[in-house]
């Protein structure tokens, strides 16, 4: 888990994308949103979801940087919202590990 969270903390994205995702985090519903974003009937565990979301987010970031016509800012923000939501869930499920990461 520590490696996963350190990778997430090292991501650098435009401030506007992060701010938009933080606003959307209030309405995050993992059952609804992960099923839609990952195209799956049953949401995976938070750790597995984060790995899949990170892969998708990386592709979106590449498209954004290259100004690809297939880039979708709304999908990018949705993926970032889901990543933030899953990280919160992962941290809540193991508070001792989350505390050690904060120090």
Which pLDDT tens digit goes with each residue over 24-57? 999 999 999 999 999 999 999 998 999 999 999 9
Write out the two tokens for 58.
């990386």
Residue 71 CB partners (closer than 8 Å, separation 6+): 60, 63, 64
> Could you state, in order of their start, the residue ranges of all structural domains in the chain?
2-102
Rounded Cα–Cα distance for residues 68 and 78 (Å): 18
The whole-angstrom separation of Cα 45 and Cα 68 is: 31
Over the stretch 83-99, which tens digit does the pLDDT of each residue have? 999 998 988 887 655 44
Q: Which two tokens stand for residue 30?
A: 């993992």
Return the structure tokens found at 66.
């290259």
- Any idea which residue has 């904060």 for tokens? 102
In this prediction the pTM is: 0.83
């Amino acid at each position: 888990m520590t490696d996963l969270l350190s990778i997430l903390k090292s991501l650098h994205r435009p401030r506007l994308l992060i701010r938009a995702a933080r606003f959307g985090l209030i309405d995050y519903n993992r059952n609804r949103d992960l099923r839609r974003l990952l195209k799956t009937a049953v949401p995976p565990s938070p750790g597995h979801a984060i790995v899949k979301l990170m892969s998708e987010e990386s592709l979106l970031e590449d498209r954004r940087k290259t100004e690809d016509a297939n880039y979708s800012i709304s999908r990018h923000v949705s993926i970032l919202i889901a990543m933030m939501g899953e990280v919160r869930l992962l941290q809540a499920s193991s508070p001792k590990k989350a505390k050690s990461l904060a120090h």
